[in-house]
Structure 1
Amino acid sequence: MRAMIFDGSGKPLRLAEVPVPEPGPGEVLLKVHACGICRTDLHIVDGELAEPKLPLIPGHQIVGSVVRSGAGVGRFAEGTRVGVPWLGATCGTCRHCRSGRENLCDHALFTGYQRNGGFAEYTVADVRFCFPIPDGYPDLQAAPLLCAGLIGYRSLTMAGDAERLGVYGFGAAAHIVTQVARFQGRQVFAFTRSGDAKGQAFAREMGAVWAGSAEERPPDELDAAIIFAPAGELVPAALRAVGKGGIVVCGGIHMSDIPRFPYDILWGERSIRSVANLTRRDGAEFLSLAPRVPVRTEVQPYPLEAANEALADLRRGAIRGAGVLVVGS
Structure 2
Amino acid sequence: MNLGEMDAWVVARPGPVASRPLERVRLPVPAPGPGEVLIEVEACAVCRTDLHLAEGDLPPRRPRTVPGHEAVGRVVARGQDAVRLEPGARVGVAWLRSTCGRCRHCLRGAENLCPLSAYTGWDADGGYAGYLTAREEYVYPVPEETPAERLAPLLCAGIIGYRALLRCDLPPGGRLGVYGFGASAHLTAQLAVAQGAAVHVMTRSARARELAMRLGASSAQDAADAPPEPLDASILFAPVGELVPVALEALDRGGTLAVAGIHLSDIPVLNYRRHLFQERTLRSVTANTRADGRAYLDQASAHPPEVTTVAYPFDAADQALSDLAADRVEGAAVLVR
Fold match by TM threshold 0.5: yes
The question of whether the paired residues in 2 share the 8 Å contact of 1:44 and 1:52 is answered with no
Question: CA separation in 2, counterparts of 1:308 and 1:140?
Answer: 18
Unaligned 5+ residue runs, structure 2? 1-5
State percent identity of aligned pairs.
47
Aligned pair partner of 1:313 in 323, 332, 335: 323
> Does 1:174 find its partner at 2:157?
no
Report deviation, 1:135: 5.0
Amino acid at match of 2:323: D
Q: After superposition, what is the alpha-carbon deviation per residue over 1:130-171, rounded to whole angstroms, capped at 9, x for unaligned?
A: 001135421010000000000000000112233100000000
Aligned pair partner of 2:170 in 161, 174, 182: 161
Q: After superposition, what is the alpha-carbon deviation per residue over 1:114-138, rounded to whole angstroms, capped at 9, x for unaligned?
A: 1100000011111111001135421
Question: CA separation in 2, counterparts of 1:125 and 1:83?
Answer: 10
Tell me the secondary structure at the aligned position of residue 16 of structure 1. Answer: strand
Tell me the secondary structure at the aligned position of residue 32 of structure 1. Answer: strand
Question: CA separation in 2, counterparts of 1:69 and 1:115?
Answer: 17
Amino acid at match of 1:165: L
The question of whether the paired residues in 1 share the 8 Å contact of 2:11 and 2:23 is answered with yes
The question of whether the paired residues in 2 share the 8 Å contact of 1:171 and 1:320 is answered with yes
- Other-structure match for 2:332: 322
Report deviation, 1:37: 0.2
Question: CA separation in 2, counterparts of 1:301 and 1:74?
Answer: 34
- Other-structure match for 2:231: 222
Worse-matched range after superposition: 26-35 or 68-77: 68-77
1:210-249, aligned counterparts within 5 Å? 210-249=219-258
Question: CA separation in 2, counterparts of 1:122 and 1:252?
Answer: 27
- Other-structure match for 1:187: 198
- Other-structure match for 1:77: 86
Amino acid at match of 1:63: V
> Does 1:198 find its partner at 2:221?
no
Q: 1:46 to 1:285 in 2, by over 3 A?
A: same
TM-score by length of 2: 0.95
- Other-structure match for 2:260: 251
> Does 1:297 find its partner at 2:307?
yes
- Other-structure match for 2:56: 47
TM-score by length of 1: 0.97
- Other-structure match for 1:284: 294
Tell me the secondary structure at the aligned position of residue 18 of structure 1. Answer: strand
The question of whether the paired residues in 1 share the 8 Å contact of 2:11 and 2:64 is answered with yes
Aligned pair partner of 2:14 in 9, 12, 21: 9
Unaligned 5+ residue runs, structure 1? none
Question: CA separation in 1, counterparts of 2:280 and 2:59?
Answer: 32
Report deviation, 1:238: 0.5
The question of whether the paired residues in 2 share the 8 Å contact of 1:214 and 1:237 is answered with no
Report deviation, 1:295: 1.1
Aligned residue-pair number: 325
Q: After superposition, what is the alpha-carbon deviation per residue over 1:217-242, rounded to whole angstroms, capped at 9, x for unaligned?
A: 11111000000000001110011111
Structure 1's consecutive aligned runs of 4 or more residues displaced over 6 angstroms after TM superposition are: none
Question: CA separation in 2, counterparts of 1:280 and 1:219?
Answer: 36
